[in-house]
Chains A and B, each alone.
Chain A
Amino acid sequence: MLEGAIVAVVVAGAAFYLGWTFWRSVHPKAGASGCAGCHAKRPVGRVEDTP
Chain B
Amino acid sequence: MAAPDGRAPVVAVAGNPNTGKSTLFNRLTGGSQRVGNFGGVTVEKKEGALRLDGIDAVAVDLPGTYSLAAASPDEQVVLDVLTGRSEGTPRPDAVVCVVDATNLGRNLFLVSQIGETGLPIVVALNMSDEAERKGIRIDAAKLSSRVGVPVVPTVATEGRGLEALRGAIASALNDRPKFAVVPWPESMEEVCRSVRAKAGGVLTEAEVHRLMFDIGSDLPRRIGWLGAEPALREARETLKLRGMDPVSFEATERYRHLEGLLEGMSTRPVTARARRGYAVDRFLTHRFWGLLVFGAIMFVVFSSIYWLAKPLMEGVVALFGLLGGWAGAALAGTPMLQSLVVDGVIAGVSGVLVFLPQILVLFFFIALLEDTGYMARAAFLMDKVFSWCGLNGKSFVPMLSSFACAVPAIIGTRSIEDPKARLATILISPLMSCSARLPVYVLMIGAFIEPTYGPVWAGVALFAMHLLGLVVAIPVAFVINRFLLRTRPLPFVLEMPPYRRPGVRDVGLKMYRNAMEFVVRAGTVILAFAILIWALTFFPRTEAEGVSESEARAAQLEHSYLGRFGKAVQPAFEPAGFDWKLTVSVLASFPAREVVVTTLGIIYNVGEAEDSDSLLRERLAAASWPDGRKVYTPWVALAVMVFFALCLQCGSTVAVMARESGWRWAAFAFVYMTGLAWIGAVAVYQVGAGLAA
* Proximity bits, B644-662, A CB within 8 Å = 1, else 0: 0000000110010011000
B598 to chain A, nearest CB (A): 12
Q: How far is the CB of A4 from chain B (nearest CB, A)?
A: 7
Bound-complex Cα distance A9 to B407 (A): 32
Instruction: Produce 1/0 per residue, A22-42, CB < 8 A to B.
Output: 100110100000000000011
| C-alpha gap A47/B71 in the complex (Å) | 12
Find chain B residues with CB under 8 A from A49 CB: 414
Q: State in angstroms the CA–CA spacing of A45 and B43 once bound together.
A: 9
Residues of chain B contacted by A22 (CB below 8 angstroms)? 591, 651
- When C-beta atoms are compared, the residue in chain B nearest to A15 turns out to be B532
Contacts of A6 in B (CB 8 A): 337
Cβ contact of A7, chosen from B44, B337, B417, B659, cutoff 8 A: B337
Q: Are A14 and B527 in contact (CB under 8 A)?
A: yes
B73-A45 in contact (CB<8A): yes
Known: A14-B531, A26-B655, A45-B72. A50 touches B42 (CB 8 A): no
Chain A contacts for B414, CB-based, 8 A: 44-46, 49-50
Q: Which of B74, B336, B591 contacts A46 (CB 8 A)?
A: B74
Interface size class of A (residues with CB under 8 A): 20 to 34
Which listed residue (A11, A21, A42, A47) contacts B531, Cβ 8 A? A11
In the complex, the answer to whether A43 meets B659 with C-beta atoms within 8 Å is no
Whether A47 contacts B529 in the complex (CB less than 8 A), given A17-B524, A25-B652, comes out as: no
Give the residues in chain B near A15, CB-CB below 8 Å: 528, 532
Contacts of B64 in A (CB 8 A): 47-48
Task: Report whether A25 and B337 are in contact in the complex, using a CB–CB cutoff of 8 Å.
Answer: no
Chain B nearest CB from A27 CB (Å) reads 9
CB distance from A32 to the nearest CB of B (A): 16
Q: Does B17 contact A (CB under 8 A)?
A: yes
B591 CB contacts on chain A under 8 angstroms: 18, 22
Contact between B529 and A18, CB atoms less than 8 A apart: yes
B532: which A residues are within 8 A, CB to CB? Answer: 11, 14-15, 18
Q: A28 contacts which chain B residues (CB < 8 A)?
A: 659
Residue count of chain B within 8 Å CB distance of chain A: 34
State the CA gap A45–B71 with chains docked (Å): 10
Asked if B334 and A3 sit within 8 Å, CB to CB, the answer is yes
**Once the chains bind, are B336 and A44 in contact (CB under 8 Å)?**
no
Q: Chain B residue with minimal CB distance to A19?
A: B528
- Specify the chain A residue showing the minimal Cβ separation from B418: A45
* Bound CA–CA A22/B524 (angstroms): 13
Which A-chain residue is minimally distant from B660 (CB atoms)?
A: A44
Q: What 1/0 mask marks residues of chain B from 511 to 532 whose CB sits below 8 Å from any chain A CB?
A: 0000000000000110111011
Q: Is the CB of A50 within 8 A of B415?
A: yes
Cβ of B347 to closest chain A Cβ, rounded Å:
15
Give every chain A residue within 8 A of B42 (Cβ-Cβ).
41-44
Asked if B411 is at the interface of the complex by the 8 Å CB criterion, the answer is yes
B220 at the interface (CB under 8 A from A): no
Q: A18-B525, A26-B655 are in contact. Are A47 and B340 (CB under 8 A)?
A: no
Q: Is B412 an interface residue (CB 8 A)?
A: yes
Contact with A along B382-411 (1 / 0, CB 8 A): 000000000000000000000000001001
A47 to B659 Cα, complex, angstroms: 19
Partner of B412, one of A7, A25, A50: A50
How long is the Cα–Cα vector from A8 to B219 in the complex, in angstroms? 62
List, in ascending order, chain A residues with CB within 8 A of B44's CB.
Answer: 43, 46
Contacts of B527 in A (CB 8 A): 14
B408: chain A residues at CB < 8 Å are 51
Q: How far is the CA of A4 from the CA of B411 in the complex (A)?
A: 44
Contact A7–B74 (Cβ < 8 Å): no
Per-residue CB contact flags for chain B residues 56-94 toward chain A (1 = under 8 Å, else 0) read 000000011100000011100000000000000000000
A17-B528, A18-B529 given; A47·B63 CB < 8 A: yes
Q: How far is the CA of A33 from the CA of B72 in the complex (A)?
A: 29
A10 CB, nearest partner CB in chain B, Å:
6
Are B340 and A46 in contact (CB-based, < 8 A)?
no
Instruction: Closest B residue to A26 by CB, please name it.
Output: B655
Is B535 at the interface (CB under 8 A from chain A)? yes
Contact A45 B531 (CB under 8 A): no
- On chain B, the residues within 8 Å of A3 by CB distance are 334, 336-337
Would you give the shortest CB distance from B13 to chain A, in whole angstroms? 14
Tell me, rounded to whole Å, the shortest Cβ–Cβ distance linking A40 to chain B.
10
Q: Give B27 Cβ to nearest chain A Cβ, in Å.
A: 18
Bound-state Cα–Cα, A6 to B532, Å: 14
Which residues of B lie under 8 Å from residue A45 when comparing CB positions? 72-74, 414-415, 417
When C-beta atoms are compared, the residue in chain B nearest to A49 turns out to be B414
Find chain B residues with CB under 8 A from A21 CB. Answer: 524-525, 528
* Contact with B17, one of A7, A10, A47 (Cβ below 8 angstroms): A47
Residues of A close to B17: CB separation below 8 A: 47-48
CB-nearest residue of chain B to A20: B528
Residues on A with beta carbons closer than 8 Å to the beta carbon of B529: 14, 18
Chain B residues in 8 Å Cβ range of A10? 340, 531
* Complex Cα spacing A10 to B527, Å: 11
Q: Which residues of B contact A17 (CB under 8 A)?
A: 524, 528
Q: Are B74 and A47 in contact (CB under 8 A)?
A: yes
A48 to B64, CA, bound (A): 8
Distance to closest chain A CB from B44 (angstroms): 7
When distances are taken between beta carbons in the complex, the residues of chain A under 8 Å from B74 are 45-47
**A25 and B655 within 8 A (CB):** yes
Give, as a whole number of angstroms, the nearest-CB distance from B46 to chain A.
Answer: 12
Q: In the bound complex, do residue B336 and residue A7 qualify as a contact, i.e. CB atoms below 8 Å apart?
A: yes
B residues 525-582 touching A (CB-CB < 8 Å): 525, 527-529, 531-532, 535
B415 partner residues in chain A, CB cutoff 8 A: 45, 47, 50
Q: In the complex, which residues 309-350 of chain B have their Cβ closer than 8 Å to any Cβ of chain A? A: 334, 336-337, 340
Bound-state Cα–Cα, A17 to B523, Å: 12
28 A-B Cβ contacts within 8 A? Answer: A3-B336, A4-B336, A7-B336, A14-B527, A14-B532, A15-B528, A17-B524, A18-B532, A21-B524, A21-B528, A22-B591, A25-B652, A25-B655, A26-B658, A28-B659, A42-B42, A43-B42, A43-B43, A45-B73, A45-B415, A45-B417, A46-B63, A46-B74, A47-B65, A47-B74, A48-B63, A48-B64, A50-B412
Those 9 A-B pairs whose CB atoms lie nearest each other, nearest first: A14-B531, A14-B528, A25-B655, A45-B72, A50-B415, A43-B42, A11-B535, A3-B334, A47-B17
Q: A6-B337, A11-B532 are in contact. List 18 more A-B contacts (CB 8 A).
A: A3-B336, A7-B535, A11-B531, A14-B528, A17-B524, A18-B528, A18-B529, A21-B525, A25-B651, A28-B659, A43-B44, A44-B42, A45-B417, A46-B63, A46-B74, A47-B415, A51-B408, A51-B411
Binding site for A on B (CB under 8 A): 17, 42-44, 63-65, 72-74, 334, 336-337, 340, 408, 411-412, 414-415, 417, 524-525, 527-529, 531-532, 535, 591, 651-652, 655, 658-659
